């Protein structure tokens, strides 16, 4: 099962719907004729599929509320997926309980956006970093090795041995993120899920952490699922990029293909809206009006049609599926069939 061709992570039709309300009275809602009404749900993730090879960095981009963080948390099984498969080295963990997850957690770890909130303020750094490893380690002899391993890890992420006895509040944001990275590495995982790992950091510190994450990938052959809203960061670190909108994957492509030839109108709008320190660009290619619709009631057909400058009647009737267009690129857009629509 762990042959070289089995992806580190494979996600198929992942769906995560959150019920809203859910109190007793909400569950008893009926219409005028006494027929029970369906409870409203937030359609956070709607049938997302992708795979990540060993040592590959896949980025998920999109704006607030597009479901990228929910994808991360569902894969890490912080949430229980509503439907779909999550395969870690071929093994479907979507239905696993807490105890089943323990061995899986040795293969998959998570780094969080807020480096302070994700560290226990009352634990010393050495205990924070050791915790996942101790969970995985049985036998007194093996446990004795843990402190030496922790010291090694701290040194590897750029912290000194004297830092090990301190508490999280004594560190800067960048150092705290280094602690989070050391903790994730402690169990030598094959996959790290990083949810906006540099978004809370200053740009000069951000560069330090991105360099560290890249070095660690090369050194340990790590695969990353890298969640970010920052396209320049994604362009720097990712091998492949998936673009999400309203809980759907609208486009995936190798990094250079996506940045050179984005096909989905949303991807194109996103790329042209991103500010740059380079000299003034030409007019934006696609300017989006309006805002993202509510995930409580999805638009019919294409999720993006309410803001898409090219949308026509087919887009309201039929939901486009993600289709391969060559060069490793896949796009969910009816324009692929009818490209002439764009020129009118």
Partner 1 sequence: MRQRVVIAIALLARPRLIIADEPTTALDVTIQSQILKLMRQQIAEKGASMILITHDLAVVSEMADHITVLYCGKVVERGRTRELIETPAHPYTRGLIDSIPDTAHRHDRLRQIPGSIPDIRNLPTGCNFRDRCPRAQALCAEREPDLARQHATLWAACHFPLKPGETA
Binding interface with partner 1 (CB under 8 A): 63-64, 172, 174-175, 202-208, 210-211, 214, 229, 231-233, 235-237, 259, 269-270, 273-280, 284, 287-289, 291
The backbone region for 222, taken as left when phi is positive above 0, alpha when psi lies in -120 to 50, beta otherwise, is beta
Q: Distance between alpha carbon 288 and the CA centroid of its chain, in Å?
A: 24
Q: How far is the CB of 193 from partner 1 (least distance, A)?
A: 21
C-alpha–C-alpha distance, residues 316 and 156, integer Å: 52
Q: Distance between alpha carbon 287 and the CA centroid of its chain, in Å?
A: 26
C-alpha–C-alpha distance, residues 35 and 291, integer Å: 34
Q: How far is the CB of 108 from partner 1 (least distance, A)?
A: 26
Beta strands 57-61 and 240-245, pairing class: parallel
Contact of 295 with 43, CB cutoff 8 Å: yes
Question: What's the helix, strand, coil split of the chain in %, to 5?
Answer: 35, 20, 45
Q: How far is the CB of 210 from partner 1 (least distance, A)?
A: 6
Structure-derived torsion over alpha carbons of residues 172, 177, 179, 182, reported in degrees to the nearest 10: -150
Q: Going along the chain, which residue ranges are E strands? A: 9-19, 41-52, 57-61, 83-88, 91-92, 108-111, 191-195, 223-227, 240-245, 248-254, 323-326, 329-331
Q: Which two tokens stand for residue 158?
A: 């750029």
Contact of 111 with 198, CB cutoff 8 Å: no
3-state secondary structure of 68: helix
3-state secondary structure of 261: coil
Q: Which two tokens stand for residue 5?
A: 């061709």
Smaller CB separation from partner 1, 50 or 245: 245
Q: Distance between alpha carbon 311 and the CA centroid of its chain, in Å?
A: 28
Q: How far is the CB of 278 from partner 1 (least distance, A)?
A: 6
Number of continuous H segments (helices) and E segments (strands) in the chain: 11, 12
C-alpha–C-alpha distance, residues 225 and 178, integer Å: 18
Structure-derived torsion over alpha carbons of residues 8, 16, 246, 310, reported in degrees to the nearest 10: 80
């Amino acid at each position: 099962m762990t042959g070289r061709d089995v992806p580190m992570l494979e996600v198929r039709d992942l769906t995560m719907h959150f019920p809203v309300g859910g109190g007793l009275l909400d569950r008893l809602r009926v219409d005028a004729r006494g027929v029970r009404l369906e409870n409203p749900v937030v359609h956070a993730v709607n049938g997302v599929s992708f795979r990540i090879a060993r040592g590959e960095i896949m980025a998920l981009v999109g704006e607030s509320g597009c479901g990228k963080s929910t994808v991360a948390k569902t894969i890490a099984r912080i949430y229980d997926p509503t439907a779909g498969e999550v395969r870690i080295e071929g093994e479907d963990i979507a239905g696993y309980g807490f105890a089943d997850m323990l061995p899986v957690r040795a293969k998959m770890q998570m780094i969080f956006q807020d480096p302070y909130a994700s560290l226990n303020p009352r634990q010393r750094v050495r205990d924070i970093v050791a915790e996942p490893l101790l969970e995985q380690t049985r036998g007194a002899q093996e446990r004795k090795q843990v402190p030496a391993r922790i010291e090694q890890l701290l040194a590897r992420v750029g912290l000194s041995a004297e830092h090990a006895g301190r508490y999280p509040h004594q560190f800067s944001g960048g150092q705290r993120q280094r602690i989070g990275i050391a903790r994730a590495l402690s169990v030598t995982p094959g996959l790290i899920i990083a949810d906006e790992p540099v978004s809370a950091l200053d740009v000069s510190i951000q560069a330090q952490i991105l360099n560290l994450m890249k070095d660690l990938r090369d050194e340990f052959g790590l695969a990353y699922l890298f969640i970010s809203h920052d396209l320049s960061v994604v362009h720097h670190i990712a091998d492949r990029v998936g673009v999400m909108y309203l809980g759907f994957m609208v486009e995936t492509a190798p990094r250079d293909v996506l940045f050179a030839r984005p096909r989905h109108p949303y991807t194109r709008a996103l790329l042209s809206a991103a500010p740059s320190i380079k000299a003034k660009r030409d007019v934006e290619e696609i300017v989006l009006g309006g805002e993202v619709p509510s995930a409580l009631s999805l638009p019919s057909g294409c999720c993006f049609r309410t803001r898409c400058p090219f949308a026509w009647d087919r887009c309201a009737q039929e939901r486009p599926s993600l289709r391969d267009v060559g060069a490793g690129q896949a796009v969910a857009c009816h324009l692929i069939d009818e490209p002439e629509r764009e020129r009118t």
